[in-house]
Amino acid sequence: MTSTSPSPSLDTAPPAEPGGRWNLRLVAVLIALAWPTQLLAAGGILGANATASVAQSFHTTQVAWFGLTLTLASTLLTPFAIKLGDLYGRKRVMLVMMALGAGGEALAALAGEFWLVLVGRAVAGFYGPFGALSFAAVRDIFPPRLVKPASGIMGSSVGLVALGTPFLAGWLVDNWGYRGALWFLAIATGIAFLLVALLVPRTPRYASAAGFDWLGGLVLGGGLTAVVYAVGQGQSWGWTDARTLGWLAAGIAALVAFLFVERAHAHPILDLRVLRRRPVALALTAGGLAQTVAFTLPGLAILLALFPHIPGVSAGLGWTAQHNAVVSVSWNLVMFGTGLLASRFLRHLDPRKVWIAGLVVMAFGYTLVGFFHGNELELALTSCVANIGSGIVVAGAPVLVVGVVSPEEQGLGSGMLNMLISLFGAIVTAGAYALLNAHSTVVDGTAFYQDAGYAWVFWLGALVTLLALALSLFIPPLSDPEADDAVPA
């Protein structure tokens, strides 16, 4: 291990089981952690499918806030979730987050006014940082030799979610509108609460409750939120608009101020000494960039599938949502299967080599998608190649974090990875829409995208992946949790 956090563990979990082999209890714990973690991905898909129903139900032109409110609340709260997990144990904080998430979605489902829907979504945003704590909890709970495969399985199960959620979203929204999607999220989050409460054991505390850095959390969370908001709105406002530049400047100023605030505080909300270490900085940046591509590009590809095919006007494929769900089964199965296989290899091989191989395949795959995406067969074949790499990436990113931080720093590492994915996701999405708009035709106020725009979106994914690959080449050998006697289980 390169170094450890200055805060020693204040509360240790029960000792590891002899031998550290899989058993029914550990499988149940993994399911209990994976269900609510991947519910985040399912919520994104359900929310995207419910957006049109929200706009029509409330006759609003501000429907973008339906998703943006949750994203901004989640970004603001992530630093606090990381620190509170260290202070009170991750299980306790996760239970509070799930209770608030379920309540927020229920409030949004019951709301009769659009502003109250947004209030509910803001409360549901408390659930957003869950992934930052769940991957850290894997290291708290599992025997050292199972940390890497368990983390890999947790990450790769997003492929299984992507496989079934589009069908679920269509059924819920077609039959019950946006309320059906929100009620499903509320009930599923309630089930997740029970799974964690009943199956996940106590997790340790890693910090003293003295001197909580509220100011640091607000400055960091507010700065990140302002930047994400500016980037998210820049395409509609215009990149030179005073509002875009103002929010962006305010966010950057807050992030700079955060560096000085943390130096002056005896108990900083984020230990910046950890982030100054080269292996940590490289692993988090490369992991954030690569996972952004793996999570963002499939959503952008939905535009290609669902936009109409009008020769000379629109180069979309003109599929229905149901047809797109059927076709996408192929590459989502590939992603899930590859992730499970990678989880096995990550335990026995150098994780850096597995990770780099995944990046190479993902970059090559999205390059192919950019050239060949004109029909079902082309898109399925090229997307399967890309998702071989994506499966390795989503399984490998948590293992990268495990390999560069100590157990005490795991929550910080996972939380920073989540924050970077949010930030990079906003930037990549904005860049993708800029490319689409540069190759578009406007008819009756609606922009229809040309084939060159779709091609460049996929090539953008390949370029970002290559950037992650370049950074990954400089990551030094990773620590092995099996050799770390400090890991509680």
Q: What is the pLDDT of residues 104-162, one digit of tens each?
A: 999 999 998 989 999 999 999 999 888 888 888 888 888 888 888 888 888 777 777 87
Q: What is the pLDDT of residues 442-451, one digit of tens each?
A: 787 667 889 9
Please check whether residues 158 and 238 belong to one and the same domain.
Answer: no
Please check whether residues 198 and 308 belong to one and the same domain.
Answer: no
| Rounded mean pLDDT, 227-239 | 78
Give the chain's mean pLDDT: 83
Q: Which of 364, 352, 362 is nearest to 396 (CA)?
A: 352
Please check whether residues 110 and 227 belong to one and the same domain.
Answer: no
Q: What is the pLDDT of residues 414-443, one digit of tens each?
A: 778 887 887 888 788 878 888 888 888 878
Residue 466's pLDDT band (cuts 50, 70, 90)? very high
Please check whether residues 351 and 423 belong to one and the same domain.
Answer: yes
* pLDDT surpasses 90 at 347: no
Q: What is the pLDDT of residues 245-254, one digit of tens each?
A: 999 999 899 8
> What whole-number distance in Å separates Cα of residue 44 and Cα of residue 461?
19
Q: Tally the domains of the chain.
A: 3
Contact 451, 315 (CB under 8 A): yes
Three-state DSSP at 440 gives strand
> What whole-number distance in Å separates Cα of residue 252 and Cα of residue 329?
41
Percent of the chain with pLDDT over 90: 30
| Rounded mean pLDDT, 23-46 | 88
Whether residue 72 lies inside any domain: the answer is yes
Whether residue 6 lies inside any domain: the answer is no
> What whole-number distance in Å separates Cα of residue 99 and Cα of residue 106?
11
Residue 14's pLDDT band (cuts 50, 70, 90)? very low
Please check whether residues 193 and 223 belong to one and the same domain.
Answer: no
Domain boundary among 207, 232, 258: 207
Please check whether residues 365 and 243 belong to one and the same domain.
Answer: no
Residue 403 tokens read as 């390999």
Sign of dihedral through CA atoms 230, 236, 237, 238?
A: positive
pLDDT at residue 173, as a whole number: 81
378: how many CB neighbours lie within 10 A of its CB?
Answer: 14
Whether residue 14 lies inside any domain: the answer is no
Whether residue 203 lies inside any domain: the answer is yes
Which has more pLDDT, 205 or 332?
Answer: 332
Q: Give the helix ranges, DSSP H, for 129-267.
A: 130-141, 144-156, 158-199, 214-237, 242-264
Please check whether residues 128 and 223 belong to one and the same domain.
Answer: no
* pLDDT surpasses 50 at 18: no
DSSP state of 447: E
* pLDDT surpasses 70 at 8: no
Please check whether residues 374 and 285 belong to one and the same domain.
Answer: yes
* pLDDT surpasses 70 at 348: yes
Sign of dihedral through CA atoms 488, 91, 226, 453?
A: positive
User: Residue 449's beta-bridge partner residues?
Assistant: 440
Please check whether residues 110 and 230 belong to one and the same domain.
Answer: no
Look up the domain containing 329 and give its range.
272-489
Q: What is the pLDDT of residues 178-201, one digit of tens each?
A: 899 999 999 999 999 999 999 999
**Given the structure tokens 């973008």, which residue do they identify?**
64
Residue 298 tokens read as 């499939």
Residue 161 tokens read as 């979610």
Residue 486's pLDDT band (cuts 50, 70, 90)? very low
Q: What is the pLDDT of residues 74-116, one digit of tens each?
A: 888 888 888 888 888 889 999 999 999 999 999 999 998 989 9
pLDDT at residue 140, as a whole number: 85
| Rounded mean pLDDT, 453-457 | 94
How would you write 384-403 as a 3-class SS string?
A: HHHHHHHHHHHHHHHHHHHH
Three-state DSSP at 102 gives helix
Whether residue 1 lies inside any domain: the answer is no
pLDDT at residue 483, as a whole number: 56
Percentages helix, strand, coil for the chain (3-state, rounded to 5) are 75, 5, 20
What is the identity of the amino acid at 127?
A: Y
- Helices and strands, counts by H and E, the chain: 16, 4
Task: Phi first, then psi: give them for residue 449, nearest 5 degrees.
Answer: -100, 140
Whether residue 4 lies inside any domain: the answer is no
Three-state DSSP at 124 gives helix
Domain boundary among 184, 207, 230: 207
* pLDDT surpasses 80 at 43: yes
437: how many CB neighbours lie within 10 A of its CB?
Answer: 13
> What whole-number distance in Å separates Cα of residue 426 and Cα of residue 231?
6
Please check whether residues 260 and 289 belong to one and the same domain.
Answer: no
| Rounded mean pLDDT, 376-387 | 95
pLDDT at residue 171, as a whole number: 85
Please check whether residues 376 and 334 belong to one and the same domain.
Answer: yes
Residue 210's pLDDT band (cuts 50, 70, 90)? low
Give pTM, 2 decimals.
Answer: 0.77
Domain boundary among 191, 207, 223: 207
Please check whether residues 328 and 255 belong to one and the same domain.
Answer: no
CATH of the domain at 456: 1.20.1250.20
Q: How far is CA 60 from the centre of its chain?
A: 28
